[in-house]
Structure 1
Amino acid sequence: MTFTQLDIFILVADLGGFTAAAQRLGISQSAVSHAIKSLEKELGVELVVRQQGAVELTDVGQRMLARTREITGLTDAMRQEAAAARGMNSGVVRIGSFGPTASLRLLPAILKAFHARYPGIEVQIDEGTDDEVRQWLLERRVDAGFIVLPNESFDTVPLAEDQLLALVPRTHRLAQRQFIAPTDLAGEGFIMSEACCGPLVEPEFARHGVPLHIRYRMSQVLTILGLVGAGDGVSVMPELALPMDLARSHPDVVVIPFRPAIRRRVGLGLRNLARASPAARAFVDIARKAARSLEERKAA
């Protein structure tokens, strides 16, 4: 068993096929297939099954994938520790991002500062829904991920705080209101954002006894804004997830705060901060400083 075989196994699982893994690695498909067959032969179990050109993991393959991620994560951390001891900054840090709050507001400043301090460390960004980022953390697919706080499943590092805002069409009956309550949206066709606030919205409305009549679920903010502006439903989004030029770019969408305000906290989640790789701990440190700087500029 080699680390190369394990890396190929992870890539085949993540990309769903031998061809895609081969293209990513810049090697032949037969080389990928050989690596998987050799790993299966050594372990004495079938890890993958071909399904009409794609690949699915067997039950034991799913269990082995979790173990493989643990092994490769530990080896990455060992290499980074050794590199740090030699006075070198190298390695890879994998980050899960759940939407525009992270990808548009926080990540650019964090990545700029991180690259300036650690130019030799590669940052891989995987973007997905709230649930996907949490699952990636559990599977060790990412070293750290942006999540809504609090979250007791992970070690967490708070970064930013904002509030949830209601989004309604300009022609809506509530459009002239200065503030609203969750009960005001009872019975409305709802467009649920799957990236950046899902874990907060549904429990909050349930707490007020308001059932959500969800018409659509999606993760693209611009699509949500387009549907709201067209009168196809209402939504709730975090302040930091909205475009800064919203009034100009989407004049048919009206934003209304809740009273009392529904606050949201965003941070980084890690399975174990103390045992994280040097690159992951460095990313967390830079993220703290970058987020603090953004807050200071916002308050100025």
Structure 2
Amino acid sequence: MTFTQLEVFAVLARVGSFSRTAGVLGISQSGVSHAIKQLETELGVTLLKREGASATLTDVGAKLLSRANDILQQKEALQQEASAEHGIARGTLRIASFGATSSLRLLPKLLARFQQKYPLVEVHIEEATDNVVVQWLLERRMELGFVVSPDERFDTLPLAEDELVAVLPSMHPLASQSAIRAIDFHGQPFIRTSAGSGPHIDAFLANQGVEPKTLFRFEQLTSMMGFVAQGDALTIAARMALPPPPTGVVYRPLKPRCRREIALAALRFDKLSPAALAFVQLAQKSKGSLAIE
């Protein structure tokens, strides 16, 4: 078993295609197939189901993926620590982010400061919904990620407080109110989102026994904003994910307030690579300047 075989396995599990894996790693497609075949032969199990040029994890492959990712993370940490002995901070840091809330509001400041201090560390950001970010952390595919806390499965560093807000047409009767109750959405034309905040919004409404009239379901905020501005529907969104209200749209707090805490997370902070630990320490020092107005 080699690090190269484990890396091929991890990348193939991530991208789901032999050809894309070859492109990512800069090797031939036959090289990808050969590495996987050797690894499966040595382990005595089938890791992937082949479907033409694509591949999906078998049950045992899914179980072994987190172990493979853990070995690769430890290899990266070993290389980083060896570089540090020569006074050079270098390596690769992988961070998972869940959309505008962390990607646009928190990461830019943190990355600018981190890359100024550690210019030789290559930072890779991958974006997904909240639940997928959690899964990537559990699988050790990513060393750090942004999560909604509390989450007992991770060590976390709270960075900012977010809240759900009502997003209304400016001419809607509810726009004159200072805060919007859950019951105010009952029977109203409504836009639901399948993005990460969707389950939090659904829970807020369900806990109050409220059922709006769902007309649309979007992932993109720009689509939601367009329909709200036209007066077609109301919606709820995470405040940190929202831009300044466009023409024809107003934001109002909910009543009761529906807050959530955004945190930087890892399986264990005491097992991080030097680059990841440095990022967490920088985030800790930067907390005060990350507050969102």
Shared fold, TM over 0.5: yes
2:261 maps to 265
| Structure 2 equivalent of residue 237 of structure 1 | 237
Q: Which runs of 5+ in 1 are unaligned?
A: none
* Aligned equivalent of 2:150: 150
Secondary structure (helix, strand or coil) at the match of 1:210 reads coil
Structure 2: distance between partners of 1:146 and 1:82? 28
Aligned residue for 1:274, secondary structure, equals helix
Aligned length: 293
Cα offset for 1:199?
A: 4.7
Tell whether the 8 Å contact from 1:162 to 1:240 is kept in structure 2 after alignment: yes
Give matches, 1:134-283, under 5 Å: 134-195=134-195, 197-211=197-211, 214-244=214-244, 246=245, 250-283=246-279
Structure 2 distance, partners of 1:268, 1:195, is 19
Residue deviations 1:17-65 (CA, integer Å, cap 9, x gap): 1100111112211111111111112122222222133112222222221
Q: Normalising to structure 1: TM-score of the pair? A: 0.89
Distance 2:218 2:264 in 1: 22
Q: Which structure 2 residues correspond to residues 2-17 of structure 1 after superposition, within 5 A?
A: 2-17=2-17
Instruction: Verify the 8 A CA contact 2:183 2:208 in the aligned structure 1.
Output: yes
From the superposition, tell whether residues 103 and 19 of structure 1 become closer, same or farther in structure 2 (CA, over 3 Å). Answer: same
Q: TM-score, normalised by structure 2?
A: 0.91
| Higher mean C-alpha deviation, range 119-128 or range 148-157 | 148-157
Identity, % of aligned pairs? 45
Match of 2:285 in 1: 289
Residues 231 and 118 (structure 1), Cα distance of their counterparts in 2 relative to 1, 3 Å cut: same
CA distance in 1, matches of 2:287, 2:227: 31
Q: CA deviation at 1:169?
A: 2.4
Quick one: distance in 2 between partners of 1:28 and 1:191? 46
Aligned to 2:32: 32
Residues 106 and 291 of structure 1 are in contact (CA less than 8 Å); yes or no, is this contact kept in structure 2? no
Q: CA deviation at 1:203?
A: 3.0
> Which position in structure 2 is the counterpart of 1:102?
102
Q: CA offsets per residue over residues 246-287 of structure 1, 9 Å max, x none?
A: 2xxx21222111234322221112111121222111111222
CA gap 1:285/1:221 in 2 versus in 1, 3 angstroms: farther
Which AA in structure 2 matches 1:267? A
Instruction: Please provide the CA RMSD for this pair.
Output: 2.1
Whole-Å separation in 2 of the counterparts to 1:259 and 1:289: 33
Would the alpha carbon gap of residues 25 and 258 (structure 1) be closer, same or farther in structure 2, given more than 3 Å must change?
A: same
Residue in 1 that maps onto 2:65: 65
Give unmatched runs, 5+ long, in structure 2: none
